[in-house]
Amino acid sequence: MHSMSEVCAATDLSYEGLKFYCNQGLIPNVKRDKHNHRIFDDHDVAWIKSLTCLKKCGMSIAEMKEYLRLCLQGQDSIPDRLVMLERKKAELERERERIDGSLTYIEWKQGFYEEVLSGKTAYFSNLLPAAH
């Protein structure tokens, strides 16, 4: 069994974050020791690692609760879980495209500035009047 602090270290989740997930019902069947402190088994830790991944994927608490609800239904809910994950994947791919476009612009701008500083290209700005 693992304590809250051990689980936090293993999952890279803050104490407050783990407590929040517990209070939100995202970690089912939380067990308690003789001092009424939360304790977790290896299955709990694996699930909490999954929750942190889902959060990093941009799932809201409501989406994570829905995913948990489906998981608790067992194998029969796998098609519904696949649909949820496919939607999230599509969102992440759109975000990656946006980020890739932003990185392309920054790389272009950095190259332009480097060429200006090296004397290879004349400086121009869309904000300043053209020099005559």
Query: How many other CB atoms are found less than 10 A from the CB of residue 40?
Result: 24
pLDDT tens digits along 62-109: 999 999 999 999 999 999 999 999 999 999 999 999 999 999 999 999
**Same-domain pairing of 68 and 94:** no
Examine the domain organization and report whether 84 and 68 are in the same domain: no
Q: Using CA atoms, how far apart are residues 61 and 43, in angstroms rounded to an integer?
A: 20
Average pLDDT over residues 31-39: 90
pLDDT tens for 23-32 read 999 999 889 9
Is 130 within a domain? no
Whether 95 is covered by a domain: the verdict is yes
When computed from its CA atoms, the radius of gyration of the chain, rounded to whole angstroms, is 24
Claim to verify: residue 58 and residue 101 sit in the same structural domain: no
- Residue 132 counted as domain residue: no
Same structural domain, 64 and 9:
yes
Enclosing H/E stretch for 84 = helix 78-118
DSSP bridge pairs for 40: 2
Examine the domain organization and report whether 61 and 89 are in the same domain. Answer: no
- The pTM of this model reads 0.77
